[in-house]
Amino acid sequence: MSTFKPGWKPRSEMGVLNKPHPRVDGPAKVTGKARYAHDIRMPGMLYARLLCCPHPSAVAKLDFAPAMAVEGVIDAIALEPSETRFLGQPVAAVAAESPEAAEDGLRAIKVEWEHLDWALTPEQAEAEDAPQLSTRGPNARTARESGDLEATRAALESADFVVESTYRIPVQHHVCLETHGHVIDFDGENATVYASSQAVFAVRAEVADALGLPVDKVHVRVDYMGGGFGSKFGIGVEGAAACELAKRNKRPIHLMLTRRDEFLMAGNRSGAKKTLKGGATKDGKFIALETVTHRHGGFGAGSNSPQPYIYNVETFHTLDRFVLTNTDAGRAMRAPGHPQASFAIESMVDELAYGMGFDPVEFRIRNLEDPVYHRQLKRVAQEIGWYEHPNRTSSAPVNGGLNVGIGFGLSVWGGGGNPSRVRATTRIEADGSVSITNGVQDLGTGSRTLLTLIVAEEFNLQPKQVTARIGHSDMGASVGSGGSVTTASISPAIKDSAENAKRAFFERLAPIMEREADQLMMGPGGEVRAVDDATRKLSWREACSILGADAIEETGSGRPELAGNGVHGVQGARVEVDTQTGRYRVKKMVCVQDCGLPLNHKTIKSQMNGGMVGTLSFGMLEERLLDPWLGTAMNADLENYKVAHSMEIPEMVSIIDEDDTRQQVIGMAEPTGIPGHSAIANAIYNACGVRLHTMPFTPDKVLMGLLENA
């Protein structure tokens, strides 16, 4: 009987996978050994900075002579187009011997700004006298429409209970701690690029185009990166400027955005205004939903996940529109469009449930066909203390003290990958060292660790015995890290590569072991044994020493059957509201998430924790603020743009849904960042009867709601 059994082992037989493991790059990061693009220093390197337009729309007339007279300034270039379309759009770049000289050079540029008409906010863009911001159509236009409006309105008329509300979601920034940027080292024939990017191979293609090189002459490295969250897929204006400066000067160019530039021009999560009208019957069935969404995506269309989101509604109509403004276009940000949709529908579901006297958990279950959500809701309700909670069908009475409330939210995501695009190589050396190579980048989500674990499992080794080499375009083809596709994309190829290497290893050992290759097996610690005779064996080091100078090196490709698609999640939040001041604290959050076959429990739970922290920060604090009359950003820095810190972080309980028995790997990071803020809003209502329709949920809004209800 052959010992070659392609595919994942049964979970009960796994010795490395399906267990908790620390990240292999943790020590390098906490000791400062890890080098990010920001850290790269090279002989003769020039530092570059961008001049960003301080106006929402203008034409720039640039005189670089004063800048070139600044000591240390080497070059200055204009960027296209000279007519800006959004606040913060780059118009020029300066390269100098030091960052300080580059900053001085920017300030020295003589600029004549011809101010153009602009609309910084959606309200300004939709006003009758607003300037038309695009030649392709009006500022506000329809993106898509679906459902039956006439039937929906008839169903709403027949409903026993109807709620209509408008929900407002602000623009949120990615707040990548490492700003966007690159180091471009171009000698005229070859280019080496150090990038802070989610897509090694996309950067290679774009840099090759910008420099006029074949792609095989461009070598991209993303050894470590400090956050992307969907915003770092291409080289952007900053990368193109760095390429142009490198081409002109034949010296390495270090161009990383300043923090203010990052806020103004590096993308954001689009905001929205959503009006929902929903109706239910007295037996708790959600029968009708009419929605109108206005996306606020700056100079882009923004993102939106259509309603009804997750819930089963018999009849619906949705109108999805977008409003252009003179602000930077939105970019993908963890589960694009889903957190916005979640806040609106989860609030609406709660309003319907409480309005009819239903337990909101029971109301949700009645309107969810997928039984996975049923079990996950019940598990979260149990862990958060819902079944012991005194206010399960109405909000708590306000008595001037501290009130406790609990709320819920759901998520959905694909998480499938593109295994066919990935190639990986496993190498076994005579000294027993094992390496796995693939060009994928690690955003900090644990991809490097994942490679080591899969190979260690295949050879019954400890993870520390395997070295993962990643983040380089000269390595095997891989995918960009977006849409939670990384795990499902690379894991099958890593597994295939390791299986192929093990088969080649056994074939090399077969004559010595006096057995056919398919009659050999891996024992503890990488020991090679004969299946029919446990005494016939070689230790890992003994077996590897037989290889001599002829190392084993085998490539693997994607096998789609090893990966799956489609995940579910439920989150709950417990809050404590001071009904005298409106201040509140999130005391506990619970997340239950499925992901098919869990490869590394510690990483999965870390992703759940990170997702909950992100949604908490989104719900409580984050909001881009603009002055619509002065045309300027009011909080484009980390002092005034508020994000959650340690004092805001509650007790977090992360639970892997072990009832998901699919023997396939699926990405699960993004859905954990979808529903937490919705659960917090619902918990605030449950605690004190204040329904917050506008994010973020600041204490003044809670207090004003309490006063209105008094």
- Give 5-57 pLDDT, tens digit per residue: 679 999 999 999 999 999 999 999 999 999 999 999 999 999 999 999 999 99
**528 & 573 share domain:** no
Which of 528, 543, 562 is the endpoint of a domain?
A: 562
**579 & 473 share domain:** no
DSSP classification of residue 8? P
Average pLDDT over residues 522-544: 96
**665 & 697 share domain:** yes
| Distance (Å, whole) CA 341 – CA 411 | 10
What is the distance, to the nearest Å, from the Cα of residue 463 to the centroid of all Cα atoms in its chain? 27
Question: For residue 242, what are the CA distances in angstroms to 82, 95, 256?
Answer: 18, 9, 9
**Domain of residue 84, CATH code:** 3.30.365.10
Give the per-residue pLDDT at 82.
84
**107 & 89 share domain:** yes
Average pLDDT over residues 100-110: 98
pLDDT in tens, 342-392: 999 999 999 999 999 999 999 999 999 999 999 999 999 999 999 999 999
Question: For residue 372, what are the CA distances in angstroms to 168, 269, 530?
Answer: 30, 29, 44
pLDDT in tens, 590-629: 999 999 999 999 999 999 999 999 999 999 999 999 999 9
What is the distance, to the nearest Å, from the Cα of residue 419 to the centroid of all Cα atoms in its chain? 20
Token match 């074949």: residue?
214
Q: How confident is the model at residue 450 (pLDDT cuts 50, 70, 90)?
A: very high
Residue 379 lies in a domain: yes
Residue 278 lies in a domain: no
470 pLDDT more than 80: yes
Residue 103 lies in a domain: yes
DSSP 96-152: ESSHHHHHHHHHH-EEEEEE-----SHHHHHSTTPPP--TTS-SEEEEEEEE-HHHH
**449 & 389 share domain:** no
Average pLDDT over residues 216-225: 98
1 pLDDT more than 70: no
Residue 542, classed as helix, strand or coil, is helix
Residue 430 lies in a domain: yes
Structure tokens at 29: 């990061």
Question: For residue 610, what are the CA distances in angstroms to 267, 406, 411, 442, 450?
Answer: 21, 20, 15, 16, 18
Residue 2 lies in a domain: no
Give the per-residue pLDDT at 4.
65
**536 & 443 share domain:** yes
**551 & 578 share domain:** no
Question: 43's torsion region: left (phi>0), alpha (psi -120 to 50) or beta?
Answer: beta
Instruction: Tell me the sheet residues that pair with 185.
Output: 192
453 lies in which domain range?
Answer: 11-34+417-562
Residue 459 lies in a domain: yes
Which amino acid would we find at residue 85? R
Residue 638, classed as helix, strand or coil, is coil
**555 & 578 share domain:** no
Q: How confident is the model at residue 710 (pLDDT cuts 50, 70, 90)?
A: confident
Q: How confident is the model at residue 586 (pLDDT cuts 50, 70, 90)?
A: very high
**71 & 204 share domain:** yes
The sign of the torsion formed by the CA atoms of 462, 467, 470, 474 equals negative
Q: How many domains does the chain have?
A: 3
DSSP classification of residue 613? H
Closest CA to 618 of 571, 569, 565: 571
**511 & 635 share domain:** no
pTM > 0.85: yes or no: yes
Helix pair angle (699-709, 676-688), 10° resolution: 30
Phi, then psi, of 75 in degrees rounded to 5:
-155, 155
pLDDT in tens, 481-517: 999 999 999 999 999 999 999 999 999 999 999 999 9
Give the per-residue pLDDT at 2.
57
Angle at 335 between CA 655 and CA 201, to 5 degrees: 110
| Distance (Å, whole) CA 305 – CA 339 | 9
**602 & 668 share domain:** yes
Burial classification of residue 576, based on how many CB atoms lie within 10 Å of its CB (0-12 exposed, 13-18 middle, 19 or more buried): middle
Question: For residue 214, what are the CA distances in angstroms to 192, 204, 210, 217, 409?
Answer: 13, 10, 11, 6, 49
DSSP classification of residue 186? E
Average pLDDT over residues 298-323: 97
Which of 562, 589, 620 is the endpoint of a domain?
A: 562
**54 & 198 share domain:** yes
Residue 249 lies in a domain: yes
Residue 649 lies in a domain: yes
